[in-house]
Amino acid sequence: MTPVTELLVTSIEEGYRAKAWHGTNLKGSLRGLTAKQAAWRPGPGRHNIWEIALHCAYWKYIVRRRLLGEARGSFPEPGSNWFKRPGPGSAGAWKRDLRLLEQMHRSLVQALASAPLRTIRRTPAGRKMSNRSMVAGIAMHDVYHAGQIQLLKRLMKP
């Protein structure tokens, strides 16, 4: 791995699963939550933790697809960006969606680790942002949403 690739992989891992100085990462913020807790909404029309987790999985999929130059494919869930999840939801469905998030994360890291540096630096035709910026952004995206999840957990009634 080049130093650039190594830095990007490290950033993505810190935002998602590895210990980092900034506090709880995305996976840590989801640890131990029940389906009922994940489906709780702070108010009408507001996203719940479950929807945030799927949103993060979707963007990992998008960044990997753009990095690899893949044509539009199909994310395992119908729709895009935000996926409505009704409450309270089943424990099995919640675990399935957490596995999907994990799978999308692993897939992105594998794609990045094997991508040539020229691919990482490239700005795809029709895009304003380089692949490097998209990859760096996904780490920040995870940390941003981890913070939201931590806040939602505090707002839940005990």
Burial 43-74 (b: 16+ CB within 10 A, else e): eeeebbbbbbbbbbbbbbbbbbbbbeeeeeee
Rounded Cα–Cα distance for residues 7 and 68 (Å) = 19
Number of domains in the chain: 1
pTM for the full predicted model: 0.94
Mean model confidence pLDDT for the chain:
92
CATH number of the domain to which 127 belongs: 1.20.120.450
- Looking at residue 158, its pLDDT comes to 66
Residue type, 41: R
Q: pLDDT band at 114, cuts 50/70/90?
A: very high
Rounded Cα–Cα distance for residues 106 and 147 (Å) = 21
- Domain boundaries, position 28: 3-155
Task: Give per-residue pLDDT as tens, 10-19.
Answer: 999 999 998 8
- Looking at residue 72, its pLDDT comes to 80
- Looking at residue 19, its pLDDT comes to 85
Task: Give per-residue pLDDT as tens, 127-150.
Answer: 899 999 999 999 999 999 999 999
Whether pLDDT at 124 is above 70: yes
Tell whether the torsion through CA atoms of 37, 94, 152 and 46 is positive or negative: negative
Rounded Cα–Cα distance for residues 11 and 72 (Å) = 26
Residue type, 27: K
Task: Give per-residue pLDDT as tens, 41-61.
Answer: 999 989 999 999 999 999 999
Overall average pLDDT of the 112-132 stretch:
92
